[in-house]
Structure 1
Amino acid sequence: MSDGTDRAARRRRRQLTTAVKDALRDLNIQLSLLNRRFGGRIELRDVDWTCLDLINRHGPLSPTELARRAGVHPATLTGILDRMQKRGWIVRERDPGSPDRRAVTLRGVRERNAELFQVFSGMNTRMDELCEHYSEAELEVIADFLRRTGVAGRESAEDLMEA
């Protein structure tokens, strides 16, 4: 009986793991669609929006650091930065601490954040409503799972760059 129970438990765990992976794939699709539509509203391409979000969350950043975090080639990044600067989303500032006079840091234009918040307000409201249905302990588990999923995604992306 124990062997049958163990087999059933392993099968159920595989099914649940597959369900989590399927849900993450569905989430990825929906977030990609949301980001594409969001980018259309603020006139930024998907990759531009990703770079802007990275600058706003982790900046100021050097172009080299941004290219690494965004997983884009430095030559590609130049065009992205030109578009974002032209539209007033970022500024390039000389890095006074660098011995290289060409060194710059990238900073988001914080005054424009209200536009970002307004466009994302629907999703933020829906997420607040969704989170109300979970206990603090459940939210801690969800946040931990999502952080670990992010690390797994970053490591997998790095593996693909090295291959």
Structure 2
Amino acid sequence: MLMAQVTPEQRDAGAMVGAEFATAMVVFHEAVGKLLGLSPVERKCLDTLRRLGPVTAGAIGEHTGLTTGAVTGLVDRLEKAGHVVRERDPHDRRKVVVKLVPNERNAALMATAFGPFIEDMTELGSKYNQDEVLAIADWIRRTTDILVANTRRITTMDAP
């Protein structure tokens, strides 16, 4: 695939849009977390469990880039608040998995927060053809991988 030459102005404009997007994403998830009484990291951990089902703390770390110590503290807080439980893995009794606890109140609040958002995003997605959607999905996947890798890098650094 040939890449078109990008001018410095286009690169700067792209960086500005990317920064605005990142800020909007963080602020949106902060607002949703506040609605649920959870930090953004706690809420995203619950999202990870919704997507993956019951998994080990190590798997949570792999998908988020957080260290094992950070995941342990995160799961401790979520368990104390009644959002998750630790259980023996039914396939390997030596392992412990983290499992979501159904919560009707949170489900209703999530529907309130995300219902209109999903409708808006569905409408936006309908404006693109299949090749454009695939390109956007590819960019999001690669950006996610970069974010997780850099989260892992930062969380394992010693503070100066």
Structure 1 residues 16 and 58: CA distance shift in structure 2, 3 A? farther
TM-score, scaled relative to structure 1? 0.76
| Deviation readout 1:22-45 (Å, 9 max, x if unpaired) | 212111111111111101111111
Count of aligned pairs: 152
Aligned to 1:105: 97
| Deviation readout 1:61-87 (Å, 9 max, x if unpaired) | 101221343333433333322332344
* Unpaired segments ≥5 residues, structure 1: 1-8
Task: Name whichever structure is richer in helix by fraction.
Answer: 1
Higher RCO (CA < 8 A, seq sep 6+): 2
Q: In the alignment, is the contact (CA less than 8 A) between 1:56 and 1:107 conserved in 2?
A: no
* Unpaired segments ≥5 residues, structure 2: none
Is the counterpart of residue 64 in structure 1 residue 58 in structure 2?
Answer: yes
TM-score, scaled relative to structure 2? 0.77
Q: In the alignment, is the contact (CA less than 8 A) between 2:65 and 2:149 conserved in 1?
A: no
Shift of 1:153: 2.1
1:47 is paired with a residue whose SS is helix
* Equivalent residue for 1:18, pick from 1, 5, 12: 12
Shift of 1:148: 1.7
Matches within 5 A, 1:110-121: 112=104, 114-115=107-108, 116-121=110-115
Whole-angstrom CA distance in 2 between matches of 1:147 and 1:16: 22
Matches within 5 A, 1:76-87: 76-87=70-81
Whole-angstrom CA distance in 1 between matches of 2:35 and 2:115: 13
Structure possessing the higher radius of gyration over alpha carbons: 1
The letter of the residue matching 2:144 is G
Structure 1 residues 62 and 20: CA distance shift in structure 2, 3 A? same
Structure 1 residues 133 and 94: CA distance shift in structure 2, 3 A? same
